Structure 1
Amino acid sequence: MAASGTLSSLLKLLSWRNMNLDSYKYIVVEGPIGVGKTTLVNKIAAHLGARVLLEQPQANPFLEKFYRDAGRYALSTQMFFLFQRINQLRETAQNDMFDNPGHLVADFMLAKDSIFASLTLADEELKLYQQMYEHLRPQAATPDLVIYLQAEPETLIERIRKRGIEMESAISQDYLARLCEGYSRFFYHYDDAPLLIVNNEHLDLAGSDADFSLLLARIDGMRGRREFFNRGE
């Protein structure tokens, strides 16, 4: 058993040699609201000439109501997102099979739904949600690389206020703090795909080509399935 485990670890290590951003065909950028997912997705897609798959929160008719009355609208909001996201991923997978080889960069993965559900749903609602999620989950492809962006709740609330989306005005810092904790717990145990955890507090990935280049270099330098990037101040 020990020899088998050692061989498996060695094969994993060898498989990482000469990996770079272009080697990953399906890349997901994840993180809490306001952390900069969509900005980074668009930058990576432009760099690679990739297709983009984005969340569509504005299409959820329950979301604005949820921000104002979470207890009443949590289940309907969550179930809409679950079906919306699996339909997006299913449609993309079908198109890829026939028409669109190459890179895909997304700002969500289906597994994120469980983070929000665990924060917002009551016990019986959560059981119902989990049954449906487990039924749909096998239909979602596993990413080749996940980039998890982190930032402090105070930073997130400031960024949300600056972008000025009306329905997000009711998001509280307490909710963002609990959401950040949920993401941290989820990715602490995540091992389905290679993971780069990025502290986005002091990076300007939207406006700084130098910061974006630093991130690309860090991705190219990955040699394990879980690594960290923290530039600091």
Structure 2
Amino acid sequence: MSRQYRYIVVEGPSGVGKTALARRLAEHYQSRLLLDAPEDNPFLPRFYADPQRYALPTQLAFLFQRLRQLEETAQPDLFDSGLVADFLLEKDALFAELLLSNDEYSLYLDLYQKLTSNLPQPDLVICLQASPNWLVEHVRRHNYPHLPQVGDGLLRRLAQRYSSFFYRYQDAPLLMVNVEHLQLEQDADFALLLRRINEMRGQREFFNKGD
């Protein structure tokens, strides 16, 4: 991995392809891979059945799970081989703001701010983005098993919330990638993305294959 980017995060709304890209980048750069693990959250099935009742314990479980994952990788030699992750911890708060009541979110935010102050920031964040309509159709076509009960309305709100969040994001260099005309599992398009990463010079840049 280029010494410029020892810690890369791939982010984006559910179903946009961030995990597949993170895997491919880690393989290409021969770096360590850190993946989100929603299947390890014991509250998630109950949240799907009763979102209002189980939103807070689900979010807290995700927060502590992701903190443990990041803390386990925070060794002195962490970046010797580089690290690619398919989640940005800040996205946990993004989901919490969307799903929790005002009182629950205030409680969650107090915990979040106390627990996350000393974590390392990525050297590069790659945010995969697409229009809400494209995202809904993409999820329908691919029938993702980890999105069994996420309705179209939530997917659309997530896409819009991600867009707003990364519009303001300034904590690390950011490459916004429109995936609507990209097939990143194909070698040619993946090579285009790698070249775009290598050519980054600014704090915030955009990549759209159609441009």
TM-score, reference length from structure 2: 0.93
Q: State which drifts further: 137-146 or 52-61.
A: 137-146
Is the contact between residue 21 and residue 219 of structure 1 (CA under 8 Å) also seen in structure 2? no
User: Aligned pair in 2 of structure 1 residues 197, 167: CA closer, same or farther (>3 Å)?
Assistant: closer
RMSD: 1.8
Residue of structure 2 aligned with 1:106, choices 81, 85, 90: 85
1:88 alignment partner in structure 2: 69
1:185 alignment partner in structure 2: 164
2:197 alignment partner in structure 1: 219
Looking at structure 1, the residues matched to 102 and 141 of structure 2 have their Cα atoms a distance apart, in angstroms, of 35
**Unaligned runs of at least 5 residues, structure 1:** 1-19
Amino acid across the alignment from 1:87: R
Normalized per residue, the structure richer in helix is 1
User: Aligned pair in 2 of structure 1 residues 200, 90: CA closer, same or farther (>3 Å)?
Assistant: same
Deviations 1:1-42 (A, max 9, x none): xxxxxxxxxxxxxxxxxxx85520000000000010011111
SS at match of 1:139: coil
2:182 alignment partner in structure 1: 203
The structure having more radius of gyration, on CA atoms, is: 1
Alpha-carbon distance, 1:152 to partner: 2.3
TM-score, reference length from structure 1: 0.85
Aligned residues: 211
Residue of structure 2 aligned with 1:37, choices 7, 15, 18: 18
Looking at structure 1, the residues matched to 104 and 83 of structure 2 have their Cα atoms a distance apart, in angstroms, of 33
- The equivalences for 1:1-233 within 5 A come to 21-94=2-75, 97-98=76-77, 101-166=80-145, 168-206=147-185, 208-232=186-210
Is the contact between residue 16 and residue 135 of structure 2 (CA under 8 Å) also seen in structure 1? yes
Looking at structure 2, the residues matched to 23 and 167 of structure 1 have their Cα atoms a distance apart, in angstroms, of 33
SS at match of 1:146: strand
Deviations 1:197-222 (A, max 9, x none): 0001111112x100001111111111
